[in-house]
Amino acid sequence: MNSKTPFTLNCKGKLLSLEKPKVMGILNVTPDSFFDGGQYEQKDAILFQAEKMLKQGADIIDIGGMSSRPGAAIISTEEELKRVIPAIQAIIKYFPETIISIDTVKAKVAEFAVSEGASIINDISAGNIDEAMFETVANLDVPYILMHMQGEPLDMQDKPAYETNVVEEILDFFIRKLEHLNKLKIKDIVLDVGFGFGKTLNHNYNIMRNLEVFSCLQKPLLVGVSRKSMIYKLLQVSPKEALNGSTVLQTIALQKGASILRVHDVKEAKETIKIIEQLNVE
């Protein structure tokens, strides 16, 4: 775990310490996300789920208005804004201390979301879909989650392949991107290896097996494996039945240095962190 590494994120004046691992609760305001699509499109449902996750101990609420499941297409900026902005406004109104991250690949959506109360940008495309994203992050001066993805959601799982070693290629990718971000003086950067985004099942487990390699970049690491196909396809179950597998992988990720767990199930993730912390008590 990164308990000895003094990472902090400045979320528009709210300092989020990563001395102990944190939990990011997923709130998809989409009709078609792979696990919870269509469940949180209405204001009451959004607030109910946000309150539930916050009571269970979520440190961040991650709001996404565009599905990134394999095969999903990029939607219009207008449609995405129509989904995420009311959700952000409602959560900030009723739970004003909430740290919200906006899960988007579009600079305009990120800008509007931050103006309405979001304070972290979570970009699965690492600036590859919208070339204005990096400049926007620099101007907004908020933490940025940089994720590795091969291709785009529409085609990322069409026979993903890597020329050499998947871990080495992701490491090289991060080094190049961090160089660019450093030139823009973007300081608070979180790395996400992108489990399931342009990776085969074997790729995903190879990355997990070697996750501690990425600590050499001296950035906090976010891990998102919650109920993904690397679990349910391996176990031959449905996403709804993949909680146990999710907890197993999250436990391993914490032992290998994860600072943030991005999850559908906040209570279970918080319990996992508590148990791992107790293991480290001498």
Domain edges within the chain: 20-279
> Whole-model pTM?
0.93
Each residue's pLDDT tens digit, 171-224: 999 999 999 999 999 999 999 999 999 999 999 999 999 999 999 999 999 999
User: Which is the catalytic residue, given 228, 256, 267, 274?
Assistant: 228
pLDDT at 3: 43
Average pLDDT, the chain: 92
CA distances to 240, 246, 269 from 232, in Å: 9, 9, 18
CATH class for domain 20-279? alpha beta
Q: How far is CA 220 from the centre of its chain?
A: 12
Q: Summarize pLDDT for 115-158 with one digit per residue, the tens.
A: 999 999 999 999 999 999 999 999 999 999 999 998 777 776 77
228 is catalytic: yes
Q: What's residue 2's pLDDT?
A: 43
Instruction: Give the pLDDT of residue 156.
Output: 66
**84-93, 161-170, 240-249: range with lowest mean pLDDT:** 161-170
- The catalytic position among 262, 267, 270, 274 is 262
